[in-house]
């Protein structure tokens, strides 16, 4: 079994090149469970990452008592923001009228350089819209993507998949950029030096799939060396949790369906296992004897342990936590933000995108020597 996400995150933080303690900007009013769950998650993340600091944005009347009780002291700072983005708010409305919200304030702290990453449990569409408006896209990136960690049989214990919902469309150039960004995420978030990238398709044969997938297959094959990853070709749905790849590239529609299906299946397995172990005296006795193994399995398939989709392709790191996340899930999202901050991920990603784009432009430019 691979090291837990928190273990790898602590290891990455310890070996980081960045000396400054990470500062994480937190939308404390987003999410279904309210600011109490967010503060509880901050407390857990603060214990795991001793030097990290947190900026919590939201309503003072609700947050101040929670922070005082949490005893975080100087490690947590309250930023007043009276407005709240609800799950029903349209992104266009938030972009026009959301400047007083906790979400807007949290993203603005990253733009201002006060924080190295932002975390929110709020409305995904609104968060992406505000993030794009405030942070802008990295030069050379057509479409940002949301990347998630998927439990796998790989040495790291997890695979990266993107896009899982930022945009339902993606042409061959977008898929190449997703591969580049996903590889950078695997390299800095999971410490995989040479990530293996697969392109999700309905079969592994090169003649299968839509036209843009075939074109993307050629682009990834040609650019893999320059981009610093190994391209394994087409992969199928069954390969998503396998040890064949480290990064799975797809469009946002397909990725989001796969993600929600996987999370629902993991929850179903957990519930069925719990019910099966309570069907009779012998089952209950067996459950007691195997309790340690069952707890390991439950932790391994618990979606909360890998909570947090990363917005890739923006001039700033933004982590989207599930709206229903509890303290455990929120702590996992915060830990991921700390890990990426520690690794210098944002700087390295921008540099990698610029380098590959420059190489591709040179390859397609006319010869200058007159030949």
Return the higher-pLDDT residue of 363 and 336.
336
Tokens of 89: 């708010």
Q: pTM of the entire structure?
A: 0.80
Q: Could you read off the pLDDT of 64-93 as tens digits, one per residue?
A: 999 999 988 889 999 999 999 998 989 999
Confidence of residue 167 (pLDDT cuts 50, 70, 90): confident
Is the Cα dihedral 6, 325, 151, 204 positive or negative? negative
Residue-averaged pLDDT of the chain: 84
Q: Could you read off the pLDDT of 310-327 as tens digits, one per residue?
A: 999 999 999 999 888 899
Could you give the CA distance from residue 93 to residue 115 in angstroms, rounded to a whole number? Answer: 26
pLDDT at 38 over 80: yes
Angle 345-364/327-342 helices, nearest 10 degrees? 60
| Beta carbons of 170 and 206 less than 8 angstroms apart | no
Length of the chain: 371
Confidence of residue 1 (pLDDT cuts 50, 70, 90): very low
Could you give the CA distance from residue 247 to residue 230 in angstroms, rounded to a whole number? Answer: 10
- Choose which CATH entry (3.40.50.2000, 3.40.718.10, 3.30.420.590, 3.90.209.20) describes domain 142-312: 3.40.718.10
The domain segmentation of the chain, as residue ranges, is 1-138+314-371, 142-312
H runs (alpha helix) in 18-169: 34-48, 60-70, 91-97, 102-111, 124-135
How many CB atoms are closer than 10 A to CB 324?
14
Confidence of residue 302 (pLDDT cuts 50, 70, 90): low
Nearest to 305 by CA among 290, 326, 275: 326
Q: Could you read off the pLDDT of 256-298 as tens digits, one per residue?
A: 898 888 878 877 877 787 777 777 776 667 666 666 665 665 5
String of b and e for 124-154 (b: at least 16 CB within 10 Å)? bbbbbbbbbebbeebebbebbbbbbbbbbeb
Instruction: Tell me what pLDDT residue 50 has.
Output: 87
- Choose which CATH entry (3.40.50.620, 3.40.50.300, 3.40.50.10950, 3.30.450.20) describes domain 1-138+314-371: 3.40.50.10950
H runs (alpha helix) in the chain: 5-14, 34-48, 60-70, 91-97, 102-111, 124-135, 172-189, 211-227, 252-276, 281-289, 291-301, 327-342, 345-364
Confidence of residue 140 (pLDDT cuts 50, 70, 90): confident
| Beta carbons of 358 and 328 less than 8 angstroms apart | no
Instruction: Tell me what pLDDT residue 293 has.
Output: 63
Tokens of 333: 């999202």
| Beta carbons of 179 and 198 less than 8 angstroms apart | no
- For strands 196-200 and 230-235, give the pairing: parallel
């Amino acid at each position: 079994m691979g090291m837990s996400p928190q273990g790898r995150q602590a290891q990455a933080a310890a070996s980081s090149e960045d000396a400054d303690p990470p500062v994480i900007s937190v939308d404390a009013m987003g999410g279904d469970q309210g600011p109490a769950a967010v503060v509880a998650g901050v407390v857990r993340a603060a214990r795991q990452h001793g030097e990290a600091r947190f900026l919590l944005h939201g309503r003072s009347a609700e947050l101040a008592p929670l922070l005082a009780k949490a005893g975080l002291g100087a490690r947590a700072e309250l930023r007043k923001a009276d407005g709240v983005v609800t799950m029903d708010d349209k992104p266009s409305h938030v972009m026009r009228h959301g400047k007083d919200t906790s979400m807007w304030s949290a993203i603005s702290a990253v733009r201002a350089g006060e924080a190295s990453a932002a975390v929110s449990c709020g409305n995904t569409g609104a968060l992406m819209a505000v993030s794009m408006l405030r942070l802008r896209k990295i030069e050379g990136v057509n479409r940002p993507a949301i990347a998630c960690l998927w439990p796998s049989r790989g040495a790291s214990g997890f695979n990266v998949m993107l896009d899982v919902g930022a945009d339902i469309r993606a042409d061959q150039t977008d898929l190449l950029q997703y591969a580049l960004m996903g590889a950078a995420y695997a390299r800095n978030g999971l410490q995989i030096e040479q990530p293996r990238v697969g392109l999700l398709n309905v079969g592994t044969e090169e003649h299968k799939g839509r036209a843009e997938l075939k074109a993307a297959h050629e682009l990834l094959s040609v650019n893999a060396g320059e981009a610093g990853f190994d391209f394994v070709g087409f992969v199928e749905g069954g390969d998503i949790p396998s040890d064949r790849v480290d990064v799975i590239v797809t469009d946002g529609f397909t990725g989001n369906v796969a993600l929600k299906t996987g999370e629902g299946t993991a929850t179903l397995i957990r519930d069925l296992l719990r019910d099966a172990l309570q069907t009779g005296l012998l089952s209950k006795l067996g459950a007691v004897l195997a309790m340690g193994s069952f707890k390991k399995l439950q932790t391994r398939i618990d979606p909360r342990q890998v909570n947090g989709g990363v917005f890739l392709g923006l001039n700033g790191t933004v982590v989207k936590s599930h709206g229903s996340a509890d303290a455990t899930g929120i702590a996992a999202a915060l830990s991921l933000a700390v890990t990426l901050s520690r690794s210098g991920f944002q700087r390295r990603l921008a540099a990698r995108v610029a380098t590959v784009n420059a190489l591709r432009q040179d390859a397609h430019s006319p010869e200058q020597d007159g030949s």
